[in-house]
Structures are given as C-alpha cells and as structure tokens.
Structure 1
Amino acid sequence: MITKTESLEAYKNAIKAHYEIEKSGKYSSFLIHLSRARLRQLCEERLKESNNIEDKLSFSLVFGFEYDVNNRNKLKLQTDKFRPIETFFKGETDLADIEAINIAALLVNFNPRPFRYFISKPLPNEALINEEKHKIGVKHSYKNRNKLKHTIVKKIGIGLLGVIGITSIGYTTKNIILPEPQCMQWQNNHYEVVDCNSNEDNLIKQHNIIPFNEEQSKLIKVEVSDTTQFFKNGKPLYWYAKVNGKPEFFNTHGVHPETGKALKQVSEYIVNKYVKNNNYLKKF
C-alpha cells in the first residue's frame, strides 16, 4: 500500500516529467525560458481552454478570487505567486502546497488532475490509458495487462521521470502494485518501459529493446539554445555526445542510447563552439 506522501511525490514527479514533454509542445515559448510572468500568461491560456471546474477551484484557492477573463489585471498583481512553481520546474525548490501543485499540473496540462483525482479516480477505458501513457512517455505492454485489478504506478526519471496509472474499468484505486520493469526501449527523446517480448507495432522497433536499467532510464535528450543555463555554481547541468560531428545534449550521465558512446559533462568550450556561435542551432 502506497502512502499519501508517496502518492504526492509520484504526482509531482509525473508533473515534472510532463513539463519536459510540454517544452516542445504548443506552449513551448512559455516553458523553455521560465519566468513568473510567462507562467502567469500560460495559466491564463490554459484556463481559457479548460472546461474542468477543478482547475477553476484550484485557481481560486491559490489566488483568492475566481478566474475570469476580465480579471487579467487582477492576476498580474499576483505574479509573484508563480515563483514557487517556477523554481519547482527548475528543480531549485520543492512544492508542498497541494493546490499550488495542482496549478503546476494545469500549466503543463498533466492528467489526471487534481491530486485527489490522481490517487482515486479510475481511468475509464483502455484507449484513455494508452493516450495518457503516451503523453508522459511511458508505455506498459504486459501480456497480462487485462488481468490487472489494481492501479499500477510506475516512476521513471529525468532526473525525475513520470507516473501513470493503469486501472481496470470501474475499479476504485485503493491498492497499488509496483511491478519490476524488465525491459526498456529508446523512443525519440526518452526511454519507455516495454514488454521484453513486445511484437506490437513497427513504430516501437526502431531501437533495440534492452534490459531495464534504472539509471539509464532517467536519460532524456534535450534541445538547448544560447539562453540555456548550462552551469550552476560552476557545475555542469548537462551531458553530451557527438553524433556526426554535432553534440546531442542530455539531462544526466549515461551512454548515448543510439551510439553507445559514454556521455561527457558539458564544458564552456562545447557551449561556446556549438551553442553560443549557433553551430548547434544550424543543425535543425
């Protein structure tokens, strides 16, 4: 039985995982270069699109008034309230307030939300399960999946990666089983947990299925720019390996998932040569 504290940590990890995916999505301009003002603007955009009454409730509990498109100037006065969420996404601080965490989930459009739905609401059907698994980059394809009668929560990192619940129809989430992953496969920019004998579709066969490695599973390929913060207190925040003469950047140490080369810590030389001089950007 997983505790509420463990569930909350899983929820936060899932939100952070989805944040990394959303950085290349529709609202990437708000998320790649984080600031309180950009998060405030993103919050407005998300709420304009949302029909979820829980989002409006979380908003009112955090900001002290109900969301309305005419309250834009009022929300501007609350910009500093986005600071804890900004530092949470940057990995500088943690979030303890559940409603603030729910706002973080809204900002990256992570579902299921809010937190009480995350821990208690069963997913209605297999199609939705597959959709949610795709959104956070985790795919479970166990042969006995249809026999599961309990919710399964799987954590995979980016330094931190995500969580997904697999729930049988109509079954209330009470007991949680944590299966040991056996295999994984590189998918675009991250590893996915897969069935070791998976023969499901050709799309996931682009890279070899390999034994699950917890440390390597945290690896995520990231896109950088000349405004990316590469160092903190003199320590590198990214790793890289060259492919066809150009560096590819990752969030943590390990080996390159396609070439097998050991990743190196980013250096000022690499940043100046390939990023600051736009040589990296010319690749795209």
Structure 2
Amino acid sequence: MRTKTSVTYKNEILEKYKREKGGEMNCYLQEPTRKQIKEACLWLLNRRKEKYDESILNRFFQFEEGENKAYAIERVHGDKFKPIINFLTGETKSTTPANLELIAWLIDFKPRPLSIYLKSNTENEITLPESFQKTENAYYLKNENQVVDIIPETKVIEKTDKSITIISQINPTLRITTIVSL
C-alpha cells in the first residue's frame, strides 16, 4: 500500500469530486459558482457536524468567538470561493489547505481533515492469515497448492493527452490510484 501524503489527500478529494460531482451536494457543486458554494456551506452548516468539521469551518471562515456562523457565512465576499471553483474546474492544480479542507467537508470526503487522513496510513493495510504464502506474483494456501486470486478490479477514471489515471479496488475499503505520465 502506498504511503498517504498531502498530495494523495488532494488527489483523492479531487477524484471523489470528479467521480460524484459533489455527491449529496451535486445540485450546488456540479457546476459550482461562488453563490452556490456559499449556499452549500449554509445548508450543511447545521447538518454536517463530524468531529473535526467545526475546526475545518473555523479555519476557512475565521469565525469570531460567539459569532453567528450562518450570518458570518452570508457576509463572506464571494471572491473567497473563487480559488475553490478554479481548483474544482481544473483551472488551477493546487489550492490552500483551508480551501482543500472545505472542499473535503462539502463533498463529505473521509477521512478528513488531512491530519486524520495521514494517521489512517496503517489502518487499511491488508493482513493475510498465516495460512497464505506469497510467491512471485500470487498467493497460495500453505499445504494445499491452491492459488488464491487477489486481482483487483481496475478501471481508467481519467485520460488526458499527458496522463492516465487508473484506480484499482482490491476491496470496498481499499482503493489504489495510479497516475501514469505519457
């Protein structure tokens, strides 16, 4: 399993956005505008409240102590959302960490934030029972000479003139994304 980094976090968030066009929030995020992102934030404000979501919102919106958050979001100038739109539409290849965390919150990317994502490095590793023995390209059951297929489902999710992005899914919780430069 490859090591999770801030780059893989960014890529997986963008991949989920492209695949689901915002998921539950696709009516706001399929073709995002500044106003739609603001409306999505307002709609989710009291609905999506996982452990670190408040800190994600505080980091992006920089709420004052005791401030009405809905009112504060309504007052935010639309230009604050422009870098998010540029990132989601591919006009830019990177964005600030605060913007990336807000996108993760909007599309319900998990695990979030980055610090939790990085800690999940070892949680999804596959551990085979001792009855399995690895040889060059396959796994065999010990004492039975029986091949066990561990061939992941693989599909091309994006193809450009310069690269191909391939995703392999070994099981429902483990996906591996590979980007090949042409």
Q: Is the shorter-chain TM-score for this pair beyond 0.5, marking a shared fold?
A: yes
User: More relative contact order in 1 or in 2 (CA 8 Å, sep 6+)?
Assistant: 2
Q: Deviations over 1:227-250 (max 9, x none)?
A: xxxxxxxxxxxxxxxxxxxxxxxx
Q: Deviations over 1:127-164 (max 9, x none)?
A: xx6xxxxxxxxxxxxxx93249xxxxxxxxxxxxxxxx
Q: Does 1:97 pair with 2:72?
A: no
Q: Which residue of 1 aligns with 2:127?
A: 146
1:152-231 equivalence runs, <5 A? 184-186=153-155, 192-194=167-169
Higher strand share: 2
Q: Does 1:84 pair with 2:65?
A: no
Q: CA deviation at 1:11?
A: 0.7
Distance 1:77 1:214, change over 3 A: closer
RMSD: 3.9
- The answer (yes or no) to whether the contact 1:47–1:56 under 8 Å persists in 2 is no
Runs of 4+ deviating beyond 3 Å: 66-71, 121-124, 182-192
- The answer (yes or no) to whether the contact 2:34–2:81 under 8 Å persists in 1 is yes
Give the unaligned 5+ runs of structure 1.
Answer: 130-143, 149-181, 201-212, 219-284
- The answer (yes or no) to whether the contact 1:184–1:193 under 8 Å persists in 2 is yes
- Give the secondary structure class of the aligned counterpart of 2:127: helix
Distance 1:13 1:67, change over 3 A: farther
Q: Percent same amino acid at aligned positions?
A: 23
Aligned counterparts of 1:100 and 1:214: Cα–Cα separation in 2: 23
| Residue identity in the other structure for 2:32 | L
- The answer (yes or no) to whether the contact 2:17–2:23 under 8 Å persists in 1 is no
Distance 1:186 1:10, change over 3 A: closer
Normalising by structure 2, we get a TM-score of: 0.63
- Give the secondary structure class of the aligned counterpart of 2:14: helix
Q: Which residue of 2 aligns with 1:118?
A: 117
| Residue identity in the other structure for 1:19 | Y
Give the unaligned 5+ runs of structure 2.
Answer: 130-150, 159-164, 172-177
Aligned counterparts of 2:22 and 2:104: Cα–Cα separation in 1: 16
- The answer (yes or no) to whether the contact 1:39–1:82 under 8 Å persists in 2 is yes
Q: Which residue of 1 aligns with 2:54?
A: 56
Q: Which residue of 1 aligns with 2:45?
A: 47
